[in-house]
Amino acid sequence: MLSRSHTPLLSHAYTNIPSPTNRFKYRPPCIVFVSRSNGEGLERRIIQKKREQERLAACGDSSELPFLEKIFNILDRAITEFLDPPLHFSVDPAKILSGNGAPVDELIPTKCEIVHGTIPSCLSGVYIRNGPNPQFAPKGPYHFLDGDGMVHSIKISHGRATFCSRYVKTNKYLFEKQVRPHVVPNVIGGMRGLGSFIARATLFGARVLFSGYNIGKGIGVANTNLAFLGGKLYALCESDIPYAIKIKDDGDVITLGHHDFNGNLSMNMTAHPKIDPVTKEAFAFRYWATRPYLTYFRFDKDGNKQPDVPIYSMKQPSLTHDLAITQKYAIICDIQVRACPMNLIRGEPLVGVDQTKIMSSKNLEFPVINPAYIGKKNKYIYAAIADQTQSGLRMMRASGVVKLDITASSEEGEDQHECTMASRMYENNCFGGEPFFIAREAENPNSEEDDGYVVSYVHHESSCESRFLVMDARSPTLEVVAVVKLPQRVPYGLHGIFIRENDLYQM
């Protein structure tokens, strides 16, 4: 195992989820080291709910669709009604797309109201976060991760803020916007039984054949993460190559298109590349169902992709999610969660139960560090305190944020709190997502590791308002120094990034 002072290996830290047995196989983990060089009120809520229902029902009007597409839609409904097994909680769109999980419309750059404090001057730039936001109502089973990517950005300049929400205009998004129905099958939620899986795959093939969908341009949703490398900003997901996006001077976000790095990236890549803050190199990989199950590669400081390095030491396909880097090595975990393709399509529960003792009932999610310490020994971790209530989005929403000193950790038991340096619980019925650390003096090599701010989007489920919080990372209570009221609800999502003002000029 790696020293606990290393960069966190995983973007998601699950500590109270039982080990899955029905859909995955368990094996002892190992680590692959790769040389870096090589390798808001009631009335308002009712109105909002009505708008959301109208939005989700929009694709039900098929009067303007071509005849063949009407036939395809009838077949789609037949698969859902006659072939799909009963919907499990985790893939029921009525539950997943409820409350703050419901999709929102795009929003042009809109000025925001600062309702508390002032935004620190060092936060000049853009905080932008990615997440699923389905363009149309899903047909049949739907998993949270199946939604189209939408980025929510807040551009800060001279203490003022502008908010914007935009879809990542992927190949899938553009085609479905033209044809209207949900054409591309849900990759994760759709695996709910052999019969329905084969039927949906066949129907998708027919749509590709008769509707002109260019599957060669990908079926990815670009809904997971963002990366800034080689002076460009990319929206990422693990099932496709990156999409280049750009933040305009007015705070708008536009999609530039699929980016294959001059033809050197023809397949998918991880949504979690690591960028060395010193050399500006980026390190990445992709995993696949056939050999080589893992392929490592890197990008130079200008964003040029270097040759692939296949990793043949991995003997089985592994759901590899993330990697870490040191000054010399790229470290990739050959994790104990493995795909069993036949089990995935038998319609069994998403999570199985392993009758073992749960060592801790606490659950931290989305751990992050000071980005300047990627590849170096760090001391502090900032993580979301996962919501413990039963909700379709329980694992994607947080009830607070915590700061940990991992050099003071203890293994004496779960009641030992000496590694907790600071924490803040959000207001009642208020939830957030991933925290992100922004250094006060990013260019000062002598600044302390925790000298900066922790930011996050939060949503008040009682008032249906979303806000942007700025917290003092050195305060023992993670004191809130600024609160920005956002002009639109921000659904719970995934990962984000902060791009400083001077870096925006490179784009």
Rounded Cα distance between 13 and 348, Å, is 24
Rounded Cα distance between 116 and 112, Å, is 12
Identify the CA nearest to 404 among candidates 432, 436, 372, 369.
369
C-alpha torsion angle, residues 126, 132, 136, 137 (rounded to 10): -140
Is residue 18 predicted with pLDDT exceeding 80? no
Q: What phi and psi, each to the nearest 5 degrees, are found at residue 371?
A: -55, -25
Q: What is the pLDDT of residue 409?
A: 60
Q: Lowest-confidence range among 175-189, 202-216, 437-451?
A: 175-189
Q: Residue 459 in contact with residue 432, Cβ under 8 Å? A: yes
Whether the upstream peptide bond of residue 20 has omega within 30° of 0, thus cis, is: no
Is residue 249 predicted with pLDDT exceeding 70? yes
Rounded Cα distance between 142 and 94, Å, is 9
Q: What is the pLDDT of residue 405?
A: 95
321 labelled ligand-binding: yes
pLDDT band at 47 (very low <50, low <70, confident <90, very high): very low
272 labelled ligand-binding: yes
Q: What phi and psi, each to the nearest 5 degrees, are found at residue 365?
A: -125, 165
SS3 state at 213: coil
Residues in the chain: 507
> What is the mean predicted confidence (pLDDT) over 10-23?
37
DSSP-assigned letter for residue 387: -
Rounded Cα distance between 359 and 16, Å, is 8
* Segment (H or E) for 377: none
Token couple for 302: 């200008």
Domain ranges of the chain: 24-39+41-504
Q: Residue 134 in contact with residue 101, Cβ under 8 Å? A: no
- pLDDT per residue as tens digits for the range 300-340: 999 999 999 999 998 888 888 899 999 999 999 887 666 56
Q: What percentage of the chain reaches a pLDDT higher than 90? A: 57
Q: What phi and psi, each to the nearest 5 degrees, are found at residue 83?
A: -110, -30
Q: What is the pLDDT of residue 16?
A: 37
User: What pTM did the predictor assign?
Assistant: 0.85
C-alpha angle with apex 115: 114 to 119, nearest 5 degrees? 45
C-alpha angle with apex 3: 269 to 354, nearest 5 degrees? 70
Sheet holding 243-247, edge to edge: 225-229, 232-236, 243-247, 253-258
Q: What is the pLDDT of residue 273?
A: 98
State the number of CA atoms in the 13 A half-sphere of 463 facing the CB: 14
Q: Residue 424 in contact with residue 400, Cβ under 8 Å? A: yes
- pLDDT per residue as tens digits for the range 121-153: 999 999 999 999 999 988 788 999 999 999 999
For 337, residues 6+ apart whose C-beta sits below 8 A from its C-beta are 20, 24, 26, 318, 319
Strand partners, 458: 432, 467
Q: What is the pLDDT of residue 391?
A: 56
DSSP 301-336: TT-PBPPPEEETT--S------EEE-SSEEEEEE-S
Query: What's the mean pLDDT when you consider all of the chain?
Result: 84
Token couple for 260: 């294959």
Amino acid letter for position 381: I
Angle between the N-to-C axes of helices 67-78 and 194-211, in degrees from 0 to 180, rounded to the nearest 10 = 170
Token couple for 439: 């250094």
Rounded Cα distance between 55 and 47, Å, is 12
- pLDDT per residue as tens digits for the range 199-238: 988 988 888 888 777 888 888 999 999 999 999 999 999 9
Q: What is the pLDDT of residue 192?
A: 72
| CA distance between the termini of the chain | 39
> What is the mean predicted confidence (pLDDT) over 143-166?
97
Rounded Cα distance between 499 and 490, Å, is 19
Is residue 372 predicted with pLDDT exceeding 60? yes
> What is the mean predicted confidence (pLDDT) over 146-169?
98
Where would I find the H helices in 3-139?
Answer: 42-57, 67-78, 93-96
